[in-house]
Copies of this chain bind each other. A is one copy, B any other.
Amino acid sequence: MNPTAKRVLERDVRGVARACRLVDDRVDGYIEMLKDLYPHTGKAWVVGVTGNPGAGKSTLTDRLVAYWRGEGKRVGVVAVDPTSPFSGGAILGDRIRMQRHFEDPDVFIRSLATRGALGGLSHSAMDTVRILDAWGADVVLVETVGVGQDELEITRAAHSTLVVMAPGLGDGIQAIKAGILEIADVFAVNKADRDGADATVRDLELMVALGKGVAAATVGHSVSMSGEGAMGPGWEPPIVRSVATQNQGVDAVAHRLAEHYVWLRSSAEGKLRIEARLRELMYNEMRQALVDAAVRDIHDDIERAIHEVARRETDPYTASERLVTLFKQGRKTGQREP
């Protein structure tokens, strides 16, 4: 048993922090640690929280953490949103709001910064979710901005996804994006005490109604990757009003999310979505394993290819095909420092 994995399973909070760091920095042996943890995963309910910056996503997340803590649940938070005080705050010093949770031993909060070209953000996020699952979290909240590709992948890997909207952000209907409709299991119209809340709710109702008909046509490929999609028959995303700063509507949001999870585990369509979720996770895993292996095995060839393309001696497509061939031939041209 990997020693860090052991500490995670013993619910040693500093062990969990260390495990997250190993994954983030992709320290040698982190894969072995994850293998040891894996048999202890699969119990946590993974809830995605997404929406535009300014919608009050972080405040609502904060309130949901408090709500589930009130039910005695152990809660993990993975913040992938760079605008969130959970993660952005690491740089900008705006962590005060979350401080009470940082001091609760049954809440573990982890921020993920943006990564370079080699470390997929969605990949780190999945592994972090698994660590918190193995630590014994009943719920893991994953907060993302929800507009980028990686964020969509992360959210699709959640069991239940909450999309947080607010009145007056962007131009109404335009702000309700195709990708968002695809992934929403529950909508929260937050800041519902503001002007324009009724219009936002109406716009959403319209989009949900339209979405039942058009979702399959407009987001074809993605829907096929994620099973029936949130807009399929059997689950219509409810729209809940909330004022997170006043703690209003937070219980309703939590109830709707819980209902979705019950539906997910009990219906045939829900089972399809769980399968699709696993498929997505496996493809992520394999993609990362391929890139890691290539960087390890043919590092010098990659560097050489970059220089040849820079001198325009070849094109990037031909160079990549040659790299794939070299990789498959099992050449070992150079080892990177661990």
Where the two chains meet, the residues of A that have a C-beta atom closer than 8 Å to any C-beta of B are 31, 34-35, 38-39, 42, 52-54, 81-83, 85, 88, 91-92, 94, 113-122, 145, 147-153, 169-171, 173-175, 177-179, 214, 218-219, 221-222, 224-226, 275, 278-291, 293-294, 302, 305-306, 309-310, 312, 315-321, 323-324, 327-328, 330
Contact = CB atoms under 8 A, between A and B. Distances in A.
A275 B321 CA distance: 21
A316 B279 contact: no
Nearest to A85: B174
A107 to B, nearest CB: 22
A152 to B, nearest CB: 6
Contact of A175 (B54, B113, B170, B279): B54
A306 B320 contact: no
A219 B197 CA distance: 37
A251 to B, nearest CB: 26
Contacts of A179: 82, 114
A328 to B, nearest CB: 5
Given A116-B224, A150-B150, A286 B302 contact: yes
A31 B147 contact: no
24 contacts: A34-B315, A34-B317, A38-B315, A54-B171, A54-B175, A91-B178, A113-B178, A113-B219, A114-B219, A114-B222, A115-B149, A116-B222, A117-B153, A119-B221, A148-B149, A148-B151, A169-B169, A275-B310, A282-B305, A285-B320, A286-B302, A286-B324, A287-B290, A293-B324
A94 B177 CA distance: 12
Nearest to A183: B114
A161 to B, nearest CB: 15
Contact of A278 (B91, B171, B309): B309
Interface centre among A53, A306, A323 (most CB of B within 10 A): A53
Q: Which of A317, A318, A319 has the most CB of B within 10 A?
A: A317
- Sorted nearest first, the 9 A-B pairs with minimum C-beta distance are A148-B148, A38-B315, A116-B225, A289-B320, A149-B150, A54-B170, A121-B149, A116-B221, A285-B320
Nearest to A207: B92
Given A94-B174, A178-B82, A290-B324, A316 B114 contact: no
A320 B282 contact: yes
A122 B330 CA distance: 28
Contact of A222 (B91, B115, B148, B174): B115
Contacts of A275: 310
A99 B316 CA distance: 35
A324 B289 contact: yes
A70 B88 CA distance: 40
Contacts of A309: 278, 282
Q: Which of A54, A117, A121, A306 has the most CB of B within 10 A?
A: A117
Given A82-B147, A147-B83, A278-B309, A117 B283 contact: yes
Nearest to A297: B328
Contacts of A115: 149, 221-222
